Structure 1
Amino acid sequence: MLFSFSLNACFKDITQRNVIYFNDFENQSRPYINVYNAVGPIDSSKITLFNNTHVLGRFNNDLVLFEMDNLPNHNVLKVEFDLYLHDNWKGNYIAPGRTAPELWYLLLDNNNIYQTSFSNNNFDQSFPNNYQAGMTSIKALSNAWGVLPGICAKAGQEKGTSMYKIEIITSHKGAIKLAFNNDASTPLTLCEKSWSIDNLKLTAITNQF
């Protein structure tokens, strides 16, 4: 039998939470967010309609950069968003001429948080783990919160889009720089595969003991 106890008389556990950013993209604006392709900044909003809601996307090999300064003091950061993977994502399949699968990336302050693969096909994937050679693969659509029709290459097909709720809680101080990206064999082909995000929410948390 396991017993546990805590001593609360001498310490106060005070947690302060400040939602510093939320965007469901329904107003079709993207403050603090810039989008870049291989040529440079993209001026268009890149906000489109999918499944009766506005999303930021679609992207394929574009860099989406969120940057915010002047945050309230905090020592923990919580990042939440919905991630949609549209059409032919092939998980851990390695195409001829490549040494790794086509991966999706999330970086916080230039540090890799996710370097992972997703599958809307019969191939296994690495998410919710990061991809590494020789890893134990995970069944396609594992941990998906929703499965929807595709947009282009899999238009009208079931399991053509998968949706994942991403939540990250990490130690953090200062300004925020979030980078979203993917690498692809066909970087300019949105019809073949693409991704988008929705309901981006950032919470600055201060834990005081």
Structure 2
Amino acid sequence: MEVPFTAKKPAFLWILPLILTSFFSCEDSLLEEVLVYDNDFAESDLVYFEKGRLYDFNGDTVLGYFHNEEILLRLPDLPSHNALKVTIDLLLHDSWDGNPDNIGGPDFWYMNLDGTQVLRTTFSNSPCESTYCLYQSYPDAYPRFYEPKTGAVTTDLPGRCQYSTTPGWTSRYQITRIIHHTESELELVCGDELKQENAPDPVCDESWSIARIQVSTMTVN
């Protein structure tokens, strides 16, 4: 059993306010927010993507699937702004193992905005019992310890490959990050570092996809 040093349950209603307050001071106010990019891949639109591909998962077209890969979204000609908000609906398929440093992990996923890492964390889809639990770091950066699927908005989807007929083996997370930004172009990179040394087919064992990406420019005074 992996013993956590800071195991706790976060208050999910605090997560977005904490993200916002980490950027805005008490005197700041949001003057304008413009949605500049919104893609749920239903139209098979991969304009602005490098290394992107599409996949049918559970009846929906998603960006994926990926295993030990990076994707890049480059958005040009952004309107004038001084902050950016990026929201990603992330799908984690099959047996992500979270934090353990062994033949099955840790299993990392990360997001970079204009070359700056804004999230590097682990996820776990594994069952959690009183005698055995593979903890994850999300919703915080690695290394922290939360129960598997903490913060997920959906937990009853089937797996993509290894557990394709079994509900509960794909978890969906909605991840939002806000950064200071003034450039006319954005480079968004998402990637993973997955480890499963004892699997005959590691890509079938664990992978990830993206169901939706939204980007908004913000003007803060």
Question: TM-score, normalised to structure 2's length?
Answer: 0.77
The aligned amino acid for 1:127 is: Y
Alignment of structure 1 residues 24-173 onto 2, 5 Å: 24-35=40-51, 46-96=53-103, 101-122=106-127, 123-132=134-143, 135=144, 137-147=145-155, 148-173=157-182
State the distance in 2 between where 1:30 and 1:143 align.
28
Following TM superposition, by how much is the alpha carbon of 1:154 offset from its aligned partner in structure 2, in angstroms? 1.4
> How many pairs does the alignment contain?
184
Deviation of the 1:108 alpha carbon: 0.8
TM-score by length of 1: 0.81
Percent identity of paired positions between Structure 1 and Structure 2: 32
Match of 1:182 in 2: 192
Matched-pair contact (CA < 8 Å) for 1:79–1:168: yes
Distance 2:186 2:216 in 1: 11
- Structure 2: 5+ residue runs without aligned partners? 1-26, 128-133
Classify 1:139/1:49 alpha carbon distance in 2 versus 1 (closer, same or farther; 3 Å). Answer: same
Match of 1:19 in 2: 35
Cα distance in 2 for residues equivalent to 1:12 and 1:145: 30
- Tell me how far apart the structure 2 counterparts of residues 117 and 106 of structure 1 sit (CA, whole Å): 12
Aligned letter for 2:149? Answer: L
Q: Which amino acid aligns with 1:30?
A: L
What is the deviation of 1:69? 2.3
Gaps in structure 1 of 5+ consecutive residues = 1-10, 36-44
CA shift in 2, pair 1:166/1:29, >3 Å: same
Structure 1 residues 204 and 81: CA distance shift in structure 2, 3 A? same
The residue that corresponds to 2:9 in the other structure is none
Mapped partners of 2:76, 2:196: distance in 1: 35
Q: In structure 2, do the counterparts of structure 1 residues 69 and 154 end up closer, same or farther at CA, with 3 Å as the change threshold? A: same
Q: Quick one: which amino acid aligns to residue 137 of structure 2? A: S
Give the Cα–Cα distance (whole angstroms) in 2 for the partners of residues 131 and 14 of structure 1: 30
- Select between 62-71 and 77-86 the one with higher mean Cα deviation: 62-71
Cα pair 1:58 1:190 within 8 Å, conserved: no
Tell me if the contact between 1:55 and 1:198 (Cα under 8 Å) persists in the aligned partners. yes
Higher radius of gyration, 1 or 2: 1
Q: 1:109·1:178 contact (CA, 8 Å) conserved in 2?
A: yes
| Alpha-carbon offset, residue 18 of structure 1 | 1.6
Structure that is richer in helix per residue? 2
1:114 deviation in Å? 1.0
C-alpha RMSD of matched pairs (Å)? 2.1
Runs of 4+ in 1 over 3 A off after TM superposition: 11-14, 186-189
Distance in 1 (CA, whole Å) between partners of 2:28 and 2:141 is 37
Output the CA distance in 1 between the equivalents of 2:203 and 2:96: 12
